[in-house]
Chain A
């Protein structure tokens, strides 16, 4: 059986790259501490492959035919998509893919009654994958990535219960379908409270953000599923905050486990709260 050796929920707001240099020093420090901590733990975990769940942000499919989960099966994942380059401000990258693990995931989810879509082309990546890849140097790490872009914003989208069930199926797939000895990392890529495109574009719900980070770190999944409703996330930033459902998928895969945050920061121009939670897997 394969093993989950790394699990984290991380932010991907484009402004933490493009507007980083204009942010106050205390904000920059939290961003740097967060990503430095994530990278330090990733290197220690030494995964062979990282499965990254992230909001698709309407970047790959039309609303009229919108998948809830889209697996990237390409051999290489290049990004960011050209239109997003000036908006994010990150460097270009080509990350190694794993068509084998991606295909196995597609089969494994189908076998477990989870409908996912999959494409062999290089998917379009915006900040969802581009920010973690470039800030964690995943393209030069030698670690293969399998992006799974999910619907967090086109109603009706999978709620916390469905995402958790998907995560449980992913965990079962890793443990039972992937090769013995394979080391697998999981990332849920999604920002804290934000409302992209909404009337409250500059609104950041600090109370929600701190509550959510503490809840995720507590490992109390009964509370997570009861309290992290779509309504609660929408109230804290419509159309954006619900991408935290990517973190729920990861927590479903690893089960109840205590984690830790690397700090939290607010900066108005980021238009999103910034924080991450990592769940140590090695010492369990």
Chain B
């Protein structure tokens, strides 16, 4: 199951929502990710997991899987026939590496 560890208080959820809604923030994330991450009250382990593309750890911390899938698309690509498929594969690869949830 994907919601056993769900923690609605994680600031990373707001990061993903803002990236969806704010084109300029998205552009900044692409060229200066750290500057964007600095704006959010991410827990140290949460930030580290984002920086290391460690979705398994991020989910174990309580990240919402639907937003996790979208975070992967911000990182790896968002077009149906290309980047979005890479994003899915990278995400699944990370999630199946270790951990107990999902």
Chain A residues close to B by CB (< 8 Å):
14-15, 17-19, 22, 57-59, 62-64, 81-83, 86-89, 124, 153-155, 195-202, 234-235, 238-239, 269, 271
Contact = CB atoms under 8 A, between A and B. Distances in A.
Interface centre among B21, B23, B80 (most CB of A within 10 A): B80
Contact of A197 (B13, B65, B81): B65
A63 B3 CA distance: 14
A235 B65 CA distance: 15
B14 A198 contact: no
Interface centre among A14, A17, A88, A154 (most CB of B within 10 A): A154
A201 B69 contact: yes
B84 A58 contact: no
Contacts of A82: 23
B81 A19 contact: yes
Nearest to A240: B66
Contacts of A197: 2, 64-70, 72, 91
Given A58-B64, A154-B64, A155-B6, A199 B81 contact: no
A129 to B, nearest CB: 16
B31 interface: no
A14 to B, nearest CB: 7
Given A22-B81, A58-B67, A87-B73, A234 B14 contact: no
Contact of A154 (B1, B8, B69, B91): B8
Q: Is the interface of A mostly helix, strand, loop or mixed?
A: loop
Contacts of B91: 197, 201
Nearest to B95: A199
Interface centre among A57, A59, A196 (most CB of B within 10 A): A196
B88 A62 contact: no
Interface in B27-68: 64-68
A197 B88 CA distance: 8
B84 A63 contact: no
B66 A201 contact: no
Interface residues of B, number: 34
Nearest to B10: A63
B96 A199 contact: yes
Given A83-B78, A124-B21, A271-B88, A238 B3 contact: yes
Given A89-B80, A196-B69, A199-B95, A62 B17 contact: yes
B92 A59 contact: no
A153 B68 CA distance: 13
Interface string B80-102: 11001100100110011000001
Interface of B: 1-3, 6, 8-9, 13-14, 17, 20-21, 23, 26, 64-70, 72-73, 78-81, 84-85, 88, 91-92, 95-96, 102
Contacts of A62: 13-14, 17
B80 A198 contact: no
B80 A86 contact: yes
Contact of B81 (A18, A59, A200): A18
Nearest to B26: A83
B6 A153 contact: no
Contacts of A271: 88
Nearest to A21: B81
A22 B9 CA distance: 40
Contact of B1 (A14, A57, A89, A238): A238
Contacts of A89: 79-81
Contact of B20 (A19, A83, A200): A83
